[in-house]
Amino acid sequence: MAFLIDTDIIIYSLKGNETVHRWMLENKNLPKFISVVTYGELVYGARKSRYPEKNMATANRVAELFPVIDINKGIMEVFGELKARLESSGKRMDDMDLLIAATAMYMNLSVLTNNKDHFSRIDELKLESLQKI
C-alpha cells in the first residue's frame, strides 16, 4: 500500500505529534507522497507566517522527503466527476481537498488524514486515519 499524506498530517508532524511520528516510523518502508496541493498549502502557510524564510525552508524540505505529485489531465477528470457527483448529492467538498482525493484515486493511493469525516464523503476513496491526534 502507498499513501498520499494530507496537509493536516504534515502539519501535525512538523509540530512534533507523537502519533504521526510513530505511524511514520512503523510505515517507513511504504511509499508516501504529497499532492502539489499540499505543497501549495504549506507554501501559503509559510508565506503568511511571522518567519516566512524559515518556514519556506521547511516546506521545501517536506517536498524533498515526500515526492510531490503534480496535477494532470487524468486527475482533473476524476476531480470533475467527483465534484459533479458530490454536488448533485448535496455532499460538497472544498476544492483543495477534492483535488487531493482525486489525486489519490487516480494514483491508486490511500489518503492519510486526520479529516476522515470530510474525505469519507467519497465512498470509493481509500482512507487511513490516525486516532488520538
Residue 49: all three cell numbers together:
507566517
* Contact indicator for 20, 12 with CB cutoff of 8 Å: yes
Cα dihedral 112, 60, 47, 28 in deg (nearest 10) = 20
Query: What's this model's pTM, rounded to 2 decimal places?
Result: 0.93
Mind listing the pLDDT tens digit of every residue in the chain (133 residues)?
Answer: 999 999 999 999 999 999 999 999 999 999 999 999 999 999 999 999 999 999 999 999 999 999 999 999 999 999 999 999 999 999 999 999 999 999 999 999 999 999 888 899 999 999 998 866 6
**Cα(108)–Cα(126) distance, rounded to whole angstroms?**
8
C-alpha distances (whole Å) from 55 to each of 20, 24, 105 are: 20, 21, 30
Which CATH superfamily does the domain covering 3-129 fall into?
Answer: 5'-nuclease (3.40.50.1010)
Domain ranges of the chain: 3-129
